[in-house]
Chains A and B, each alone.
Chain A
Amino acid sequence: MGITFRKETFRDDYTFRNSPEHIRRFPFPFNEDSYMYAVNIEPHVVGPKGSVLENLIDVDEHYVAEMQDRALVLAEDPLRCQSLPHMTLAGWDLLELLMEQQALGYPEHFTLERSGDRWRWINGPLGIDDTFTFGDTSTLPYGPMEYITRQSQGDFCILDQRDGNLWMDAGMVTTQADWSLDFDIGMNFFEWHAPVPLAHEKGIFTRALKFLTNIQQGKPARRLNWTMTINPRLDTSPENYHKWGPDRATVTPENVGQKVHLRVELQSFWRLPRSNAIVFPIRCYLIKMDELVTQPKWARRLHRVIRDLPEELAAYKGLTRYRPTLVEWLSGLDDGSPTSPGFGPD
């Protein structure tokens, strides 16, 4: 049957919406009524049918619109996609991974044919049919990482592994929660995490690095992260802060339901076979409050989480300005009754 891809925008008139089926499959990130950092990493294995984990690389109804938005961002700012010279091999690894996974999960939309090094890639939704030589960059219109990540939802960071550390040496980053690849390129794991509050004291990064450097081929892992965004804007980058930062002052009790979005990142971690690098896809899911509260359990739980969030975390996530308005609005949907265990809606 296949996916019906929506025509929608993530800027200007903001026509982004989730269909009712996509609301129910939203990866709600809270499994209890409060939130604190944890090393919440688990094996990235296939999950229930109808969830965002049905395939290890998820393609959804926003695919075409997200790829169009990415092309707009890149046209304005090519530095959102960078790959240091030693990372080309890892780019080929990523191209193979994403083509294989998309073709495996969505054969009605994507086809990969291989004959030795001669590969043919057919991307139905974007109208692409290219034949190229695997490993020969001159046979593609872009470098391998840029080529495939212009056709894959989510941001991608490729981390080189050396000296017991991970280095942000390549990436495609256009749907980020206020961080910049151009700023972080070449940094190591501790350098790029330096701004995160509280987690250092808990020793979380030391443990997380130890875990990540031991990720094995064929055994990817994942975690969820979250923040909030005003308007369904994918590109909330520091470079464009002037375009979206002021939106946070526009939240009123009347427009909370339409303007405020929960932004969830499904982050996964994969060992790449040829380069021994790690790829870190960061897939962003957006849902507006009006859509989220159609699930009463989520409305009650989100109210409690946002109300009780430690101030440092609220500030780091940029919620300070509109938190009281949001909590007040959500409180009207929380009758105080208990929430059922687990992430999913009732």
Chain B
Amino acid sequence: MSTGTTKLDVVVSDVVPVNDLVTRFHFRRRDGELLPTFSGGAHVVVEMRDGDRTRLNPYSLMGSPLDTREYTISVRRDDAGRGGSLFMHRQVKPGLEMVISYPVNLFSLDLRAKKHLMLAGGIGITPFMAQTSQLAGVGGNFELHYTCRTASLGTYADVLQQRYGNRVRLYHDDREERIDLERLLSSQPLGTHLYVCGPAGMINWVRDRAASLGWPPETVHFEHFAAPQPGAPFDVTLAVSGKTIRVGEQQSLLEAIEAAGVDPPYLCRGGVCGQCETNVISSDGKFIHNDHWLSEEDHRSGCKIMPCVSRFEGKSLVLER
């Protein structure tokens, strides 16, 4: 059976520019009912119908889980990306009817934690907007350290400081302010859980440092949706459905499979959840693995691929789809 999510018919109720790079989108249900309750850290997949092309991108819900009249997401414009964020910024206006998925949480709070220590980089702030709202509502103990390029690009830094005062610490790259990670991680009370969301480099830095300081892996949580990278077009044979497809430069392998009328299950479309894992029947060429799901051994073996984010260069690729 498919493990995909149920869909929600929504209408864009507001579009709010936040700064030079980030715009916030508000969604309400078209039937006027309340949206499903969600937990802090959850994302939805937004369907973007752009001409004859459909993009499906995940975005963290950033509103309060206590308020289900509307969902809000914040989208950072990526001028070099595959066009999803540009579509959102240029084409999505109030009143537009869209389809989004039910919320899915792959970055859940561990409610056993005595303290939640959160580290955000750039647009990685969004899941923490919801998580801090959830924790503040029940008197939870949290502390947020937020790194941004400049004060004017510190998305929601002002809101967060206003809400939570000195529980929020800001670090600006242009002022060469940097988290003293060693000291921060060494001075936490027992029972602290660490959460990090931001660029891949930041996540790796924090995870490595936490590991070397002896933090148990189950206390370190991270979310990094890899955006599918553009690349040279390549051809793929889908053995089960008997189709041969071409993956375009700006298309992900998963999108190309879907465009051919084959629907693998998915949840995150960012190389995290494992749903679209696909067996490779044969290949002659090089895999470009970009996921966080398969083990290094799987990557080396060439027997599996995550079509949501990974690509291929070479003569032939046959998949069990």
- Contact in complex: A274, B102 (CB < 8 Å): no
Report if A43 contacts B (CB, 8 A): yes
- Contact in complex: B108, A162 (CB < 8 Å): yes
- Contact in complex: A217, B110 (CB < 8 Å): no
Segment at the A interface, from B18-26, B35-43, B50-58, B180-188: B35-43
Shortest CB-to-CB span from A214 to chain B, Å, is 5
Report if A216 contacts B (CB, 8 A): yes
Report if B179 contacts A (CB, 8 A): no
Shortest CB-to-CB span from A277 to chain B, Å, is 9
- Contact in complex: B5, A216 (CB < 8 Å): yes
- Contact in complex: A216, B104 (CB < 8 Å): yes
Q: Give complex CA distance A214, B5 in Å.
A: 10
CB-CB nearest in chain B for A273:
B37
Q: Which B residues lie within 8 Å of A214 (CB)?
A: 3, 267, 273, 275
Contact with A along B252-282 (1 / 0, CB 8 A): 0000000000000001000001110000000
- Contact in complex: B111, A86 (CB < 8 Å): yes
- Contact in complex: A218, B112 (CB < 8 Å): no
Report if B6 contacts A (CB, 8 A): yes
Report if A51 contacts B (CB, 8 A): no
Report if B218 contacts A (CB, 8 A): yes
Q: Give complex CA distance A219, B111 in Å.
A: 24
Q: Out of A84, A163, A217, A276, which one reaches B102, CB within 8 Å? A: A217
Q: Given the interface contacts A162-B108, A214-B273, A216-B102, does A273 sit within 8 Å of B1 by beta carbon? A: no
Q: Out of A84, A219, A221, A275, which one reaches B6, CB within 8 Å? A: A219
CB-CB nearest in chain B for A210:
B274
Report if B103 contacts A (CB, 8 A): yes
B26-48 residues at the A interface, CB under 8 angstroms: 36-39, 41-42
CB-CB nearest in chain A for B7:
A218
Report if B105 contacts A (CB, 8 A): yes
A147-205 residues at the B interface, CB under 8 angstroms: 160-163
The listed residue with most B CB atoms (<10 A of its CB), out of A160, A210, A216, is A216
Q: Give complex CA distance A160, B42 in Å.
A: 16
Report if A5 contacts B (CB, 8 A): no
Report if A42 contacts B (CB, 8 A): yes
- Contact in complex: B267, A216 (CB < 8 Å): yes
Shortest CB-to-CB span from B209 to chain A, Å, is 20
Q: Which B residues lie within 8 Å of A43 (CB)?
A: 1
- Contact in complex: A217, B3 (CB < 8 Å): no
Report if B65 contacts A (CB, 8 A): yes
- Contact in complex: A86, B112 (CB < 8 Å): yes
- Contact in complex: B37, A274 (CB < 8 Å): yes
Q: Which A residues lie within 8 Å of B275 (CB)?
A: 214
Q: Which A residues lie within 8 Å of B109 (CB)?
A: 276
CB-CB nearest in chain B for A42:
B1
Shortest CB-to-CB span from A169 to chain B, Å, is 9
Q: Out of B6, B39, B112, B267, which one reaches A274, CB within 8 Å? A: B39
Q: Which A residues lie within 8 Å of B218 (CB)?
A: 162-163
Interface size class of B (residues with CB under 8 A): 20 to 34
Q: Given the interface contacts A214-B267, A274-B65, A276-B39, does A219 sit within 8 Å of B5 by beta carbon? A: yes
- Contact in complex: B273, A218 (CB < 8 Å): no
Q: Give complex CA distance A89, B218 in Å.
A: 21
Q: Given the interface contacts A162-B218, A276-B39, does A216 sit within 8 Å of B108 by beta carbon? A: no
Shortest CB-to-CB span from B75 to chain A, Å, is 23
Q: Out of B1, B36, B65, B111, which one reaches A217, CB within 8 Å? A: B36
Report if A211 contacts B (CB, 8 A): yes
A80-105 residues at the B interface, CB under 8 angstroms: 84-87, 89
Q: Which A residues lie within 8 Å of B274 (CB)?
A: 210
Shortest CB-to-CB span from A141 to chain B, Å, is 21
Q: Which A residues lie within 8 Å of B36 (CB)?
A: 217-218, 273
The listed residue with most B CB atoms (<10 A of its CB), out of A42, A218, A275, is A218
Q: Which B residues lie within 8 Å of A217 (CB)?
A: 5-6, 36, 38, 102-104
Q: Give complex CA distance A273, B218 in Å.
A: 22
Q: Out of A89, A163, A273, which one reaches B111, CB within 8 Å? A: A89
Q: Give complex CA distance A216, B65 in Å.
A: 17
Shortest CB-to-CB span from A187 to chain B, Å, is 15
- Contact in complex: A273, B39 (CB < 8 Å): yes
- Contact in complex: A211, B3 (CB < 8 Å): yes
CB-CB nearest in chain A for B101:
A216
- Contact in complex: B39, A216 (CB < 8 Å): no
Q: Out of B3, B41, B111, B112, which one reaches A216, CB within 8 Å? A: B3
Q: Which B residues lie within 8 Å of A216 (CB)?
A: 3-6, 102, 104, 267
- Contact in complex: A161, B6 (CB < 8 Å): no
Q: Give complex CA distance A43, B109 in Å.
A: 27
CB-CB nearest in chain B for A162:
B110
CB-CB nearest in chain B for A161:
B108
Q: Which A residues lie within 8 Å of B110 (CB)?
A: 86, 162
Shortest CB-to-CB span from A229 to chain B, Å, is 31
Q: Give complex CA distance A135, B137 in Å.
A: 10
B89-112 residues at the A interface, CB under 8 angstroms: 102-105, 108-112
Provide 24 A-B residue pairs closer than 8 Å at the C-beta atoms, listed in order of the A residue: A42-B1, A84-B112, A86-B110, A87-B111, A89-B111, A89-B138, A161-B108, A162-B108, A162-B110, A214-B267, A215-B3, A216-B4, A216-B5, A216-B6, A216-B104, A218-B5, A219-B3, A273-B37, A274-B38, A274-B65, A274-B134, A276-B42, A276-B105, A276-B108
A residues with a Cβ closer than 8 A to B are: 41-43, 84-87, 89, 135, 160-163, 210-211, 214-219, 221, 273-276
